[in-house]
Amino acid sequence: MSQEIYGFLSIILSIVFIGLAWWALQSFRFEKIVKKPSGAQAKLLQIFLSIVIGYEVSRFFLDYLGWSLAFGNMFS
């Protein structure tokens, strides 16, 4: 896989998984944890958590893709 395609795929997967993490975090009850769940600090926390979770999930899938491609080359 060329570097350009891998870079484009990395960007797309990161954005998709950050969006999915944001969507999933909307069902989390932040009022149990933070003082003002509708405040700017709580929203910033949600954004940071979305970025961290989405980035890590996309890294997992990209690593898995790299491992599977490397494994396929092992028998060539």
CA gap 62, 16 in Å, rounded? 13
DSSP annotation of 31 reads G
pTM confidence score: 0.83
Q: Is the predicted pLDDT of residue 1 greater than 80, yes or no?
A: no
Residue 21 makes CB contacts below 8 A (sequence gap 6+) with: 49, 50, 51, 53, 54, 57
| Each residue's pLDDT tens digit, 26-72 | 998 888 888 887 889 989 999 999 999 999 999 999 999 888 888 87
Pick the residue with more confidence: 2 or 7? 7
Residue-level pLDDT at 30 = 80
Given a cut of 80, whether residue 73 has pLDDT beyond it is no
